[in-house]
Structure 1
Amino acid sequence: MKKLYFLPFLFLAVTTFAQKQFVVQNGTTQTFNDLNAAIAAASAGDTLYLPGGGFNLDPATIDKTLHWRGVGHYPDSTAATGHTQITTYDVYFSGNCDNSTFEGIYFQHHVRFGSDGDECTGVEIKRCRIGGILYLRYTSDIGSGIPDLAFNLSECVTSSIDARNAMNIRTEKNLIFGSLNNFYQSLFNHNSLNPYASSNRIINYCTNCQFTNNVFNYSYGLYYSSNCNFENNTFQSTLPYNSITSTFTGSGNIYNTGTDIYENIVGNIYNFDYANDYHLKTEATGTDENGNTGVSIVGTATDGTNPGIYGTSLPYKEGAVPYHPHIQTADIDNEAVGGNLGVQINVAAQER
């Protein structure tokens, strides 16, 4: 049944390879040559399939719930099509975009959610890259109470994330190259944080948050944050809190790991590079909370796997390939032989 379900999308992947077409699917299928025309024609709840290439949104504000599907952003899995990227400087998803989902898209710049007086809730972003700041609300105002966004971010590459005083945000298995700002009662699990901050702290204005099984590859502490719990994380230098004198609690953390903990880093560790290998080195060690040195960080997560993105029973997928079928490789002959043109196309999809 699952294979039959995917057959229409395999057909679309092959037939749209030679031209940039955008597919809107809602029981029936429509194709468009322009992304903005496809968005305008789509109804709330439709699925929008984007090919590889760079596209500008006009207008830059999306005002309906859609399920966005690109071909991915990792070069090794999009060699045939190019990665899907949105080049618009500021993309706005209004409060009418509740329950929108995103997968396999590279947003080159800032992405913003919500409207004035209308939060955008139930959003899920998977296997995307966000080059600018990800803002989860339109405003930081909490005059009517801290909003519950029920927001999920997983297996993404991001810069800074600003919740703007919101709660119930789940951030799991992401590569984060910026700061975490203004979170309430949110979970950070199995992320790898590698930000550069010469003067600012990395965790800012975060309250009642849970940090579990993360790799913190930075040297700075907490700023105007309180009542957070840290469990089975690793830290580049010292623990960012004093368990005796502060409101923070924690257990099972390992610190003083240094920066040389990943298998292979090309250039600066604080800049994302597709050539980098963010698996933990088997020989990486640190100091546990009892003061024991030379303690291995391998297998120290609460679930017995590694901290960071390659932990859990379903770790970060190499290439961040989307679920739906996409063209992985294409080999097309330069000329026809006997009236036939040789074409070999390999179509792949993520198993989960």
Structure 2
Amino acid sequence: MKSIIKSIFVVIFLISISANAQQKVALHHLGTTTVFSGSNPLIDAYTAAVTNDTIYLPGGTFVSPSNIDKRIAVFGTGHYENATSATGKTFINGNIALKENADNFYMEGVEVNGNFYFSENESVNQVVLKRCKINGTLNFIGNLSIPSTNFGLFGSVIIGNIDLANAQNVLISNSILQGRIFNSIGNVFNNNILLDEYAYYGNEAPINGDNNQVNNNIFTKVNFGNLINGNGNVAKNNLCALPTPSFGTLPTISGNYFGIAQSAIFINRTGSIFTYSEDYHLQNTSSYLGLDGTQVGIYGGVFPYKEEAIPSNPHIESKTIAPQTNTTGELNIQVLVKAQTN
């Protein structure tokens, strides 16, 4: 019942935002909702939030708090333009910095115009980013003296590099990664598309680190031979554009597909830059299978990429708002809302 009430609230809130065209943020706390407006509503909502509260962001651009040091959840409308035509995309401007009290932080459906990072040698655990887009870097700053653990990245797009220097037990799954991954020790990368094409030096690789599990991914790199740099990595059932790639020192490799041109992989895409206009579906979903028997890449595995990365809160597909009230002072609003199951 609580989840139904919360879902109804989200729909009403987003409809009211669409009708008023004002920048507002909703804070949900134990069945009570507070709406913030003004010049920095996200900062104001965060300041008022306590542990386990949820912040709902409509379409628009919001300024990030200087630090996030609370266990909260943040939901936006999504970052694909086609999927947010009725609401607008949700942007957070500026860097997002997590502090040690932000265990179990959760964010979904947000595009970040900045970097997302974990503060230096602070333990921030059980963090999940889902169906987000980070236009900067994703960094765990430190030296593993006080590591952050159990981080999950699902169905997202990361434009910059990822540095896991202070991270343990990381799962990056079903995401599109444009930059490179550094300092990864003992982490898991499943069903991703790695677009990195760093061609200046032959020893550069999309993944750098030791003892990682790298399975069911698609590597589009076509220059030089390194896909993984490091020791003891396991690489299974990955699809590789390179015909004879290197997976580092003493790797365990099996079931990989080599020398497959991008033109034979995807429905429609080329190059090493993420764009919304290209199609990352496989031409033949049964030709290249992962360890679990599903297709390699973002649409296979345990957490398949959701079309247009629509977040799990109720989604406004379309809206029609009359330009003026009728003779009785009523404003005609028609909104099509779709419930989300995941």
The normalised TM-score by structure 2 is 0.89
Give the match's secondary structure for 2:235: strand
Provide the residue aligned with 1:194 in structure 2: 195
The one-letter code matched in structure 1 to 2:230 is S
- SS of 1:85 mapped into structure 2: strand
The offset of 1:129, in angstroms, is 0.2
Instruction: Indicate yes or no: 2:80 matched with 1:37.
Output: no
Preserved CA contact (<8 Å) 2:226 2:246: yes
Count, aligned residues: 328
What is the CA deviation profile of residues 86-111 of structure 1, one whole-angstrom value per residue up to 9, with x for unaligned ones? 111x3211122111001000011211
3-state SS of the aligned residue for 1:164? Answer: coil
Paired position in structure 2 for 1:329: 318
The corresponding residue for 1:118 is: 122
Q: Does 1:80 align with 2:58?
A: no
Superposed CA RMSD? 2.1
User: 5+ residue gaps in structure 1?
Assistant: 283-295
Tell me if structure 1 keeps the 8 A contact 2:122–2:148: no
Q: Is the 8 A contact 1:52 1:71 kept in 2?
A: yes
* Partner AA of 2:197 in structure 1: Y
Matched residue, 1:128: 132
User: Cα–Cα, structure 1 residues 66 and 152, in superposed 2: closer, same or farther, change >3 Å?
Assistant: same
Q: Distance in 2 between matches of 1:229 and 1:49?
A: 40
Fraction of identical pairs, as percent: 31
Structure 1 residues 205 and 193, CA gap change in structure 2 (3 angstroms): closer
User: Could you tell me whether the CA contact under 8 Å between 1:158 and 1:175 is conserved in 2?
Assistant: yes
Q: What is the one-letter code of the residue matched to 2:190?
A: N
Change (3 A) 1:281 1:249: same
Distance 1:308 1:224, change over 3 A: closer
Q: How does 1:174-323 map to 2 (within 5 A)?
A: 174-199=175-200, 201-219=204-222, 220-222=225-227, 224-241=229-246, 246-260=249-263, 261-265=265-269, 268-282=270-284, 298-312=287-301, 314-323=303-312
Cα distance per residue 1:293-314 (max 9 Å; x no partner): xxx9724212222100011365
Q: Distance in 1 between matches of 2:153 and 2:335?
A: 32
Following TM superposition, by how much is the alpha carbon of 1:165 offset from its aligned partner in structure 2, in angstroms?
4.5
Displacement of 1:149 in angstroms is 1.2
- Shift of the 324–67 alpha-carbon distance from structure 1 to 2, 3 Å rule, reads same
Quote the Cα distance in structure 1 between the aligned partners of 2:259 and 2:213.
21
Q: TM-score, normalised by structure 1?
A: 0.87
Give the deviation of 1:280 after TM superposition. 0.9
Which residue type is aligned with residue 48 of structure 2? A
1:165-189 CA distances to partner (integer Å, 9 max, x unpaired)? 4321001100111101111111111
Paired amino acid for 1:334: P
How many angstroms does 1:66 deviate by? 1.5
CA distance in 2, matches of 1:84, 1:218: 31
Equivalent residue, structure 1, for 2:12: 11
Indicate how the Cα distance of structure 1 residues 234 and 21 shifts in structure 2: closer, same or farther if over 3 A, else same.
Answer: same
SS of residue matched to 2:9: helix
